[in-house]
Amino acid sequence: MRTINYLQTKPSSRYDKFDTSQDGNKNTKFADLIIDGKSLYQMLKKYDLVPSLGWGSEDHQRQVIDFFLLKKQHEYLYYRYPILVCPWCGDEECGFISVKIDREEDVVIWKDFKLEHENKPINIGPYYFNWVDYERVINDTFGTAGI
């Protein structure tokens, strides 16, 4: 029997207000993914990427939400989706971390996290979420950082 993880989001930014690293850098605001009380952004901060949810144009945000809700396949990753992206532009060409997302009945599974372009596995997960809660949380990321 697998443990169901608890997913929530909160508005966050790349730097806190006292961080001297933000001088001259883009302080991207995004929807941080919190899994069982732990920030995915903080867990993977060493890669200097930010969560793909909650920021960018309205069309971009809707596309990312559709990916995470499995309404749309990624153009070339299929059932893998960019979960952390470039904090400057969000473009996948700059590098990103992907996750494989599956749904088995009322459970969503995030597994096989990879640093793309290097195809390097990242040793976190898998995570299991209740579909009803997951769907609500993902939809609620829309507009987190403004449009």
What gap in Å lies between CA 39 and CA 14, rounded to an integer? 12
What gap in Å lies between CA 126 and CA 143, rounded to an integer? 27
What gap in Å lies between CA 95 and CA 136, rounded to an integer? 28
pLDDT of residue 78: 81
pTM comes to: 0.89
**Identity of residue 35:** I
**Identity of residue 55:** W
What gap in Å lies between CA 30 and CA 130, rounded to an integer? 23
pLDDT digits (tens, 9 = 90+) for 9-41: 999 887 666 656 655 666 688 999 999 999 999
Low-confidence winner among 20-34, 117-131, 133-147 (lowest mean pLDDT): 20-34
Who's near 121: CB < 8 A, 6+ residues apart?
A: 112, 113, 114
